[in-house]
Structure 1
Amino acid sequence: MKAEQGARGTDIKEQRKLGLCVLCGLPAAGKSTFARALSHRLRQERVWAVGVVAYDDVMPDVFLDEENAQALPSQWKLLRQELLKYLDCFLVAVINGCQMAAPPTRTEAMWEDFISCLKDQDLLSSAALEAQACYLLTKTAVTRPLILILDDNFYYQSMRYEVYQLARKYSLGFCQLFLDCPLETCLQRNGQRPRVLPAETIHLMRRKIEKPNPEKNAWEHHSLTLESSACPEASLEVTDLLLTALQNPVQNVEDNWEQKETDRITCSTNLLHQADQMLRRIISQTMKEAKGEQVLPHNLKLLAEDLNKLKAEFLEDLRQRSNKKYLCFQQTIGISDVISFFHYEKDNVVHKYFSKQH
C-alpha cells in the first residue's frame, strides 16, 4: 500500500511537468521518423503525454509550392509565429486545466490541421465544442507529464529562440535535439519523397544552418546533437535530456525595469556599434556575391539601397524599447540575435534581385 501511495505521489508531482522540445535539422534528415519513434517510446516507457507538431503537416501547402518560392520566406515567418500562438492557446488550457479557446484571428485551414494534430495524439477530445470555438482537453493531456516536440528545420537560431521565449513565458522545460545528417543522404532521401524540395534549397539551408551552441548561448544549454545513423542507440541520452529539461524549467523572472533601463543605457552604445559594424560587413559580402551572380548595375544600386535601409531599421529597433519592427519578439537582445534576424530578412531582399536574373 505504501509503495502504491508513493507511486501515486510521484504521479501527482509529475502532472505539473510540461516541456517544449525543438527537433531541428536539414530537410530529409529523418526528423519526422525520429519524432514518431521517440513519441511512441515515451508513451510506452515513461507513460507521458506526447504531442509531435510537424510544421510541414500544419502549415498551408500553398507556401510549399515551388512556384511560390519567392513569397516563401516572409509568409513562412508569419505562419511560424501564428503557429506559436496556437501552441500558446493549448498551453494556457493545459496549465489552467480548462477548455482551449480558439484565437480570434487565425488561418482556418492551418488551425483545423493543428486541432486534428492534437486530436490524433489524444490531447484534445473528439467531443470538442467546435461550434463554440472551444476544445476539450483529454484526461491524458491534464494528468500526465507532457512534452511537445516541434518538428521543423529551425535552421536559424532566432527561430528556436522564439520557442524558448514561449517556454520562459510559462516556466516550461525547454530542450533542443539537432539531427545531424550528411548532405548527400538528405538529398538522396529528398529525391525519393512524393513531394521533392529543390536540391538548391537544401544546399542553401546547409550553408545557413546555425546549429545549437550551448557553450555560447546559455538558453541552449539543454541541447543534444545526434548522428542520424545512431538515433536508436541514443535513446537513453535523449530521455535523460528530456527529463533534465522537465525537472529544470526555464525561470520566468519578473523584469526589474529600473535595472533593465540602467543596463540598457550602459550597453546600448556598445551594442549599436557592434551591430553597425557587423551589418556593414554582411552587406559588403552580400554585394560581392551579387556582383558574382552578375546582377545588373541598376539592380545592384537598388539592392544596396534596400540593404542599407534594412540595416538602418534594425539599428533603430535596437534604440527603441517599443514599436519595434524586426526585433519585436526579443526581450533580451544580443548581437547574435540581431545578426540571425538580419540574415533572415536580408535573404528575403536578396532573393528578389537574384531571381530577376533568370
Structure 2
Amino acid sequence: MGADYYNILKVNRNATEDDLRKSYRRLAMIWHPDKNPTNKRESESKFKQISEAYDVLSDPQKRQIYDLYGEEALKSGQVPPPPSAAHGGASGRRRRQGEATSFRFNPRDADDIYAEIFAEGSGRAESRGRGRGFFRTSNGESSGDGGASSSASASGGLRKAAPVENGLACNLEDLYKGAKKKMKISRTITDSSGKVRTVEEILTIDIKPGWKKGTKITFPEKGNQEPGIIPSDLIFVIDEKPHTLFKRDGNDLVVDQEITLLESLTGKKLELTTLDGRNLIIPVNDIIKPGFEVVVPDQGMPISKEPNKRGNLRVKFNVRYPTRLTEEQKADLRRVLGGVS
C-alpha cells in the first residue's frame, strides 16, 4: 500500500499551496534530524517523507497524477488512460496517454526543499544556498556555537537559544570507578499537531572513570521548544563532592595521615580502603619527619584519556608530639637516644 501524502503532511485533499507550505514548515521543524539527535534514523525517515509529500502535492502535475492514479503510477510513469466519460472520449484518452508516455517522476532533494521554504520565510535569497550546506554538515558534525549561526541561516533566520548549564555533583567513587546517572528533565515541545505540551524525559549520563571537575556533557537541543527559536543545548557540568579520606590533586589522590612520635621513629604499617573497595597495606619503615610523604605509584585516579594508566597515591604524614613527658620518660629518652645523631 502506497503512502498517503495528504495524511503525511496533515492536510486535507482541498489544501491550497499556502496550506501545504504552512504544514510543511511546522512538521519540518519538528522532524528535522538536527532536532532529534538521539533518534536520528526515525527523524531522517520522517523528514524525507514530509519532503516527498510536499514535493508531490505542491506540483500541479504530480498532484493531479497522484490524485487520479496513486503513488505507484506517479513514480513509475505508467499512467493508465482514464474512462472516456470522465475525460472526453477517445481524444481525451489520446491526450492522457501522450502525457503518460512523456511524464517522468523526478523527486526533489529534501535539503533543497527545506532551504527554499525557509529562505522564503526569511525573505533573503542567500539563505537558500546556506541552508543546503548546513543540513549536510549537521549529519556528521557538532559545531557548537558555530552551529547556532549556521542554524539561523538554514532555518530562515531562526536563532538558537542560549545553552542552559546545570551542576552534576558526583562523589569521588563515581569518578574513580565510573557510573551512570539518570536525570529527569521537564521541557515544553510542539507535537505533530502543532500543540505545545510539557513532557518529562530521562537522560542517561555515562560518567567515565577519571572525569574531572568541570567536565561538560552536552545534550543538543534538549531545552524548551518555542516558536521561531531553535531549542537550547542542555549542559551538565561535573562537580566533585568532598570525600572523608581522599583529596584529589589532578590525577593523584592525597591522604593526610597522623601518626605518633613513637610510630614516626619505629615505623608503621598503614592500612587504607581504596575507592573501589580494596584493602591496601602500605609499610612505612623510614624515620618519618613532619611533612614526610610516601608515594604509591598507580594507585591514584584513572586517567580518562589513557584508560590503562592511573595517577599516584600520596600519603602525607603529620607527626603528633606528646603534650607532656614525665621526668622518668625524659630520662629514658636521653638514655635511648643520647648517642643517636
TM-score, normalised on structure 2? 0.20
Relative to its length, the structure with more strand (as a share) is 2
- The structure number with the bigger radius of gyration is 2
Relative to its length, the structure with more helix (as a share) is 1
